[in-house]
Amino acid sequence: MTRIIAPLIGLGFAFVLVLGLFGTITTASEPATAEHEFHLKPKPVALASNGIFGKFDRQQLQRGFQVYKEVCAACHSISLVAFRDLAALGYSEAEVKAIANQWTTEQPSVNPETGEAATRKNLPSDKFPHVYPNEVAARAANNNAIPPDLSLMTKARPDGAAYVHSLLTGYQQPSAELMKEFPNFATPEGLYFNPYFPTLNLAMPQPLVSDGQVTYADGTNATVDQMAKDVTAFLVWTAEPKLEARHTAGLASVVFLIIFIALTIGAYKSVWRNVKH
């Protein structure tokens, strides 16, 4: 009797598993959406810091900081970066002090005489201050959207640098193909179409609108693509300022392991050379 029941129980379990799998597939087959069909994968961007041998281009980082300062800093903070960290970009101590002192947003403080809230000039030891005092102020100034902090943006988003560069250069009008397939698709008022953003519409207006928007001190031609690459390189640095040291340590470790393995093989052969197997 047991020999008959056991196979039946097994068949019952198999039947339940097949039903579960079929139900999962059916549930996963949802109607196609414009976001799914027309969301584009970021385009690769060539930066000096790419790859295991990558190193930062200091001139590009300074250009990227200039783009951030003149274009992005009005809305986006880099609150995890200190002013004195800019010395790693090639700025002198005097230049770092001047940048900190002249920065538009000052540090929150307290008036020692009245105890009321106040502000003070930035010091090189200070971190870049938040653009907005709180989330309510940020939403009020940005159509109810909160501009994200950019300190770790290239580490926080899939495809990192490629995503940032593609987003900055990807603003456009919805394509004819999209409107033909999804005639009811529309970009709501106050939002902007960008196929590299997951929902296709985002609250940030196009920040880099024309060539020459920034005048580079080193004379580099400031095209929209160049500015996007430069600020992307800068944000790669803010997210991982020790990237070069990590690459150097990694390569040194690999070389050490190769030498160690070679010495180990040599020692093994030397010790067992007279032993017959």
Which residues define the annotated binding site for heme c? 72, 75-76, 204
Count CB neighbours of 88 within 10 A: 14
What are the CB-based long-range contacts (under 8 Å, 24+) for 257-264?
A: none
Instruction: Yes or no: say if 153 and 106 are a contact pair by the CB < 8 Å rule.
Output: no
Contacts of 74 (CB under 8 A, 6+ apart): 131
* Among 174, 173, 172, 196, residue whose Cα is nearest residue 185: 174
Kindly compute the dihedral angle of the four CA atoms of residues 9, 14, 17, 23, in this order, to the nearest 10 degrees: -110
Asked whether the beta carbons of 86 and 78 are under 8 A apart, the reply is no
Considering only CA atoms, give the Rg of the chain.
Answer: 28
DSSP E strand boundaries for the chain: 107-110, 117-120, 192-193, 201-202
- Residue with the two structure tokens 């500015």: 227
Q: Is 239 in contact with 80 (CB distance < 8 Å)? A: no
Take residue 233 and report the two structure tokens written for it: 């390189």
Q: Give the closest residue to 86 by CA, choosing from 43, 122, 33, 133.
A: 122
- Cα–Cα distance for residue pair 157/163, rounded to 1 Å: 7
